[in-house]
Structure 1
Amino acid sequence: MKNTNNIFVKYNGKEDTQISYCKNKILCIDEYGFITDKFVNSSVSEHSLKNQWYEKIEQYEDNYKKYLKSIKILRLVRLGIPLTLKNTIWKIFVHKDFLYNYKTLKSQENEYAHQIHVDIQRTFRTHYLFTKKYGRGQSELFNILTAFANFMPSIGYCQGMSNIAGIILMYFPEEEAFELLVNIVQKNKLETLFDKSLSKCNKIQLLQIELFKLIIPDVLTHLDDNGVDLSIYAIGWYLTLFTRFNIKYVLRFWDLFLYLDFSIFLFIAASILKFFSNFIFKLKDEQLVEFMGKIDTFEMDIDEIIFNSVKYAKKFNYLNYKKKLN
């Protein structure tokens, strides 16, 4: 084990927690918390959607089980959860109490400190929380991942988990973010996805191919004919719970994921390739390989992706895939 004491000191020191602004340049923060050089107005439709969510929260305030089974809730989830309600709604979807001592868990050094540090330094660095090296956001992220590694030693830390915890920390206080991370892993039985041998990955690949043959067989054939190994790209999506995409897409994916379960990502993956299918058919060999390597950076119609994901999940019985994954 590397000497980790110095790393712990840096993340738990008295570093300035303010954003480091560039001199002579005005920086703005968009609706998601990322630093940009231009002003971005929030969506007008956000207000209407927020009112619909508030109505449902009040309606089911004392009966969340009924709330979760409501067909109207799935319709709202498909439309997206307003940013200001992520904390409230996500907790309703996945929260379950468990015993732990966060102060002890985050302060115990472990063998993963160096890798956690390396990953944090490349995690959402343009988000205001994580811009400052060893600042408040990075320190809280380090604490969460350290506590998680100590709480679930069968997993420890897996590369890419910093993205997952980072997304949660954007909408939750530190300790609540830790709780949600644990709840997400346990509820979705992801221990074998993140364990040292990544043992769930093979099952994911097999089910992914099975589902692609049903939904996008022509796309799958074209990729195979051009030597594109989907596992190289797609497994990275699953290991990071699809957080490699643009934040505006990630949050919509997660609304659906937290409401349903991990298996919905299989349908989201199929919907993404379906959306890009016409473009994929125009590419061959190296061009196609290059495109697939960058597909998570391209603009797409997120409403169409989410609509199709739900449609495919209903048509092909996502609960059956949930059982197979578990």
Structure 2
Amino acid sequence: MDRRRNIPASDGTRSSRRVASPDHRGAKDRVERVDPYGFERSEDFDFGSYEQLMSEYMVVLTRRSIKWSKLLKGKKKVDKNVKLKRYVRKGVPNEHRALVWMSASGAQEQLDRNAGYYQSVLGAQHDPKLVDSIRTDLNRTFPENVLFRKSSSTCLQKELYNVLVAYGQHNPTVGYCQGMNFIAGLLLIITRDEEKSFWLMEALLGRILPDYYSPSMLGLKTDQEVLGELVRERVPGVWGAMTEHGVMWSLVVSRWFICLFIDVLPVETVLRIWDCLFYEGSKILFRVALTIIHQHQSVMEDARSLPDVCQSFKHMTLGPFVEECHPFMQKIFTEPGSLSMATIAKLRATCRARILAEGS
């Protein structure tokens, strides 16, 4: 996977992918080869631009961190309010992400109400098929991340296995399917805590994104169709191109939804999306998808074939537009316009009924 992550910013910045020039070889030696999340930087990473940019941007990062520290004042929980929502949309500093995600999603409340539950499901007798499926995917989870290599002193594979097995035991209807390993892996990178990662997965898969990972994947299929309806209403030119070339939404956006943009967008952008996802719910996924599609409307409208459309979707998630996570996140709250959960719920009901009727 090409993570394309450069700047460890909590409220975004510009990130460059230009090849480092000879003049910057010294800078390359001074900057870490591994980013703050454990991902190795690509060979074409521009260390010179990175060093220059961070020297200017550290002031901004420090200011954001100070504001968050004053807001939290050492609290272990936070209550939702207008001010916190504004802060979340501007980005949560990495040192506060676990606390904010746990509180905003309701995961902390579930953990507090169910003391000892995680250890009980982890220690239970597990289905051998579940165990085998999870073990098969352990080495496939973030292979370019040093935190998931067996040779690493801080290897998180055991913790990843525990979280996935415990969740499969907790929710046998879902069990385990590919994609869940990356979600659990990123949660562990942020929380460094098995139990918190388990309850955050329960919040995502059980409440925020229900039926995404059930055997029928009805929730996932429904939301892909909902996106299609939103595009038809708000970006009709793209919808026309999709219809003309007979492209199914599941063909081009399934990875966006099933991995919640992991392995699709740069990791810092993904984390900014997840900040809002845990706070505001699944409508954030539609805001992100609509913004990306709207930005590339003209390219889509020029597509002449199904391969052209698929290639357009591949290129949508590359480049400065998605790498510059702060302006990108500002865009997702303005470009798609108003998008309420009531609107999403109405479209889901319509699309779900259509899917069920077609399958009967």
TM-score bin, normalised by smaller chain: 0.7 to 0.9
Secondary structure of the structure 1 residue equivalent to 2:177: coil
Partner of 2:65: 50
Secondary structure of the structure 1 residue equivalent to 2:168: helix
Runs of 4+ in structure 1 displaced over 4 angstroms? 37-43, 322-326
Taking the aligned partners of 1:313 and 1:294, their CA distance within structure 2 comes to 20
Partner of 2:274: 254
Asked if 2 retains the 8 angstrom alpha-carbon contact of 1:264 and 1:318, the reply is no
The percentage of counterpart residues that share the same residue type is: 23
After superposition, residues 1-326 of structure 1 pair within 5 angstroms as: 28-36=33-41, 41=51, 42=54, 43-44=57-58, 45-58=60-73, 61=75, 64-65=78-79, 68-70=80-82, 72-94=83-105, 95=107, 96-97=109-110, 98-99=113-114, 100-107=116-123, 108-110=125-127, 111-132=129-150, 136-172=155-191, 173-188=193-208, 190-244=209-263, 245-285=265-305, 286-293=307-314, 295-301=316-322, 302-311=325-334, 315-322=338-345, 325=348
Taking the aligned partners of 1:130 and 1:63, their CA distance within structure 2 comes to 29
Asked if 1 retains the 8 angstrom alpha-carbon contact of 2:221 and 2:250, the reply is no
Structure 1, residues 143-187: CA drift from partner, whole Å, max 9, x if none?
100000001112111220011111100011122211221123333
Name structure 2 gaps, 5 residues minimum: 1-28, 350-360
Partner of 1:16: none
Q: Structure 1 residue 325: deviation in Å?
A: 4.4
> Residue type matched to 1:32 in 2?
Y
TM-score, normalised via structure 1 length: 0.80
Taking the aligned partners of 1:86 and 1:250, their CA distance within structure 2 comes to 13
TM-score, normalised via structure 2 length: 0.73
Structure 1, 308-317 or 167-176: larger mean CA deviation: 308-317
CA shift in 2, pair 1:325/1:129, >3 Å: farther
Secondary structure of the structure 2 residue equivalent to 1:28: coil
Superposition RMSD in Å: 2.9
CA shift in 2, pair 1:62/1:112, >3 Å: closer
The count of aligned residue pairs is 297
Taking the aligned partners of 1:294 and 1:275, their CA distance within structure 2 comes to 11
> Residue type matched to 1:115 in 2?
S
Secondary structure of the structure 1 residue equivalent to 2:218: coil
CA shift in 2, pair 1:294/1:123, >3 Å: farther
Secondary structure of the structure 1 residue equivalent to 2:334: helix
Secondary structure of the structure 2 residue equivalent to 1:171: helix
Taking the aligned partners of 2:257 and 2:332, their CA distance within structure 1 comes to 15
CA shift in 2, pair 1:299/1:142, >3 Å: farther
CA shift in 2, pair 1:283/1:313, >3 Å: closer
Name structure 1 gaps, 5 residues minimum: 1-25
Taking the aligned partners of 1:51 and 1:274, their CA distance within structure 2 comes to 35
Taking the aligned partners of 1:288 and 1:324, their CA distance within structure 2 comes to 25
Q: Structure 1 residue 255: deviation in Å?
A: 1.0
